[in-house]
Structures are given as structure tokens and as C-alpha cells.
């Protein structure tokens, strides 16, 4: 159920996303706090986005269907309905990126949102620059050519057509599983991938419960091969309790 990141992006790519990307993209902010909405509106507009606001879940669902925004910022803690229900209702038909805002200590809520179609999450309180980066990644991802054969993440270059991985031009030897794992992370570069999403993409549907252990082991193996210092990784990052994120260290 739901469409994980990396799937809905392939279906329908509105023309507006392509070319001189993202500028002027419409962002719907669904949050009950006036202060947060104001802060987001001011910052987003300063960055060249146009914004719409909704203060309740119902209003958010309505505005999404009427105005079709390019991206949603959804607070999971809404007064009238559970933010996760809002997410599910919207995901039933809409494919635009959704970034959820959560509070600390709600790892279960984060994972649920991500597994049910959210593209990324931000933990309150957050820095604006971080949120802007997440918005850019989400919008760029949906605009990305699905048949792009070469993915560049920091020093890593992954050639999907030849199944070759290079770091700073040096080839890296990977086992098939390590390669599949890196590929799943690289396609969704800079976005968080939950354990379940990774397991599904690398091992397939079956046995995701027990395979959580495999994932940890293979992330360790992969780190030893792609990181300068596997103990203090700066490419393949762990999001505790949620999943992993392959980032461009710069």
C-alpha cells in the first residue's frame, strides 16, 4: 500500500518540474500553529516558492484536491484529525512529495509516515536551511529523469546500466546485495529510506521481519567499502529508529 519514494516519481512528471526547476513551485503548509505557518510562508516565499496554508487536516485534504500543490508540508500533530490519516487520504490519489513535521521521540510515527508515502520528515525544532534542502531534494527527485543511468552522490558514482560503482574514479567491488542496497539508497539520494523500504527493494517482500538484521550487517559492509572512516560515516548515515540516508557530504 502507499507508494514509496522512488515509485510515484516515475509515474507522472508534470512539465513544470522540468527545466528551470522548482522555482515558483506551489507549497501547501498544513499546520495548526500560526507561528510556524508564518515562519514557513515568509521563508518559502523568500526562496521563491508560492505558498498556501491550511490550519486543519480537513482543510488540508480539501486544498490539496482543489489547488493541486507541487509539495506538501504536513504537521503530524493536527487538532482535528491524525496527521497520518491526512497523509493516507492524500496519498490515495496524489503523488506530489510530502514532507512531514514531527516531534522528537516519535520514531514510530516517522516510520509510519514514511512507509505510508511521506517523502521525508523534519523533527521540530528544525533549522530552515535543512528544511529548504529537503524541499529541494524532494522536488528534484520527482523531476528527475527515471532513465538517468549515472547517479552521482558526493565522491560516489553509480552507473546503473553497467552496474559499476566508483569512488573518486576508483572502482569499488561490491557483492550483489551491497550493490542493490547502494542502488536503492542512491536512487533516493539525500532522502531517508526506512528499514522496510530498503528491505523491500533489496530482498523483496518476504521475511522483512527477520531480515532487519541482514540490513544492519550489509550497511556495515557497505560502509567499510564506501566510507573513508566507517566508524564516523559521512555518506551513508543512520537515522536512529527510522532508517538510512545516503547524502552528499557537501
**Residue among 65 and 206 whose Cβ is closer to another protein:** 206
Does residue number 204 form part of the binding site for another protein (CB under 8 A)?
no
Bridge partners of residue 120, in order along the sequence: 99
Does residue number 232 form part of the binding site for another protein (CB under 8 A)?
yes
Minimum separation from the CB atom of position 146 to another protein (A): 23
- Of 32-40, 69-77, 141-149, 161-169, the window that binds another protein (rule: CB under 8 A) is 161-169
Pick from 174, 198, 235, 246 the residue near another protein by CB under 8 A: 174
Does residue number 24 form part of the binding site for another protein (CB under 8 A)?
no
Pick from 19, 79, 125, 169 the residue near another protein by CB under 8 A: 125
Does residue number 32 form part of the binding site for another protein (CB under 8 A)?
no
Containing 85, the helix (H) or strand (E) segment is: helix 83-91
- CA distance readout (Å), 230 to 141, 182, 227, 236: 27, 15, 5, 9
Does residue number 39 form part of the binding site for another protein (CB under 8 A)?
no
Find how far residue 45's CA is from the centre of its chain: 22
d(CA 9, CA 142): 5
Does residue number 216 form part of the binding site for another protein (CB under 8 A)?
yes
* Helix, coil or strand: residue 43: helix
**Residue among 24 and 241 whose Cβ is closer to another protein:** 241
In DSSP notation, 181-233 reads: HHHHHHHTTTSEEEHHHHHHHHH-STTTTTTHHHHHHHHHHHHHHH-SSTTS-
d(CA 152, CA 198): 19
Pick from 137, 219, 222, 226 the residue near another protein by CB under 8 A: 219
Bridge partners of residue 53, in order along the sequence: 29
Residues 41-60 that bind another protein (CB under 8 A): none
* Helix, coil or strand: residue 172: coil
- Of 27-35, 63-71, 88-96, 209-217, the window that binds another protein (rule: CB under 8 A) is 209-217
Binding site for another protein (CB under 8 A): 104-105, 107-108, 125, 163-165, 171, 173-179, 210, 212-214, 216-220, 230-234, 237-238, 240-241
Amino acid at each position: 500500500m502507499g507508494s514509496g519514494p522512488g515509485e510515484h516519481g516515475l509515474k507522472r512528471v508534470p512539465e513544470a518540474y522540468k527545466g528551470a526547476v522548482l522555482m515558483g513551485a506551489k507549497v501547501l503548509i498544513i499546520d495548526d500553529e500560526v507561528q510556524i505557518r508564518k515562519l514557513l510562508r515568509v521563508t518559502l516565499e523568500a526562496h521563491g516558492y508560492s505558498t498556501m496554508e491550511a490550519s486543519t487536516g480537513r482543510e488540508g485534504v480539501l486544498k490539496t484536491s482543489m489547488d493541486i500543490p507541487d509539495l506538501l508540508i504536513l504537521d503530524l500533530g493536527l487538532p482535528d484529525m491524525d496527521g497520518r490519516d491526512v497523509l493516507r487520504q492524500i496519498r490515495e490519489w496524489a503523488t506530489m512529495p510530502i514532507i512531514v513535521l514531527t516531534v522528537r521521540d516519535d520514531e514510530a510515527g516517522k516510520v509510519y509516515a514514511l512507509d505510508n508515502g511521506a517523502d521525508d520528515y523534519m523533527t521540530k525544532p528544525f533549522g530552515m536551511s535543512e528544511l529548504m534542502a529537503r524541499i529541494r531534494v524532494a522536488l528534484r527527485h520527482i523531476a528527475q529523469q527515471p532513465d538517468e543511468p549515472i547517479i552521482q552522490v558526493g565522491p560516489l558514482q553509480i552507473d546503473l546500466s553497467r552496474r559499476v560503482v566508483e569512488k573518486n574514479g576508483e572502482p569499488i567491488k561490491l557483492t550483489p546485495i551491497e550493490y542493490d542496497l547502494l542502488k536503492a539508497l542512491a536512487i533516493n539520494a539525500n532522502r531517508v529510506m526506512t528499514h522496510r523500504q530498503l528491505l523491500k527493494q533489496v530482498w523483496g517482500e518476504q521475511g522483512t521481519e527477520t531480515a532487519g538484521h541482514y540490513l544492519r550487517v550489509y550497511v556495515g559492509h557497505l560502509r567499510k567499502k564506501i566510507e573513508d572512516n566507517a566508524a564516523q560515516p559521512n555518506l551513508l548515515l543512520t537515522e536512529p529508529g527510522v532508517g538510512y540516508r545516503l547524502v552528499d557530504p557537501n
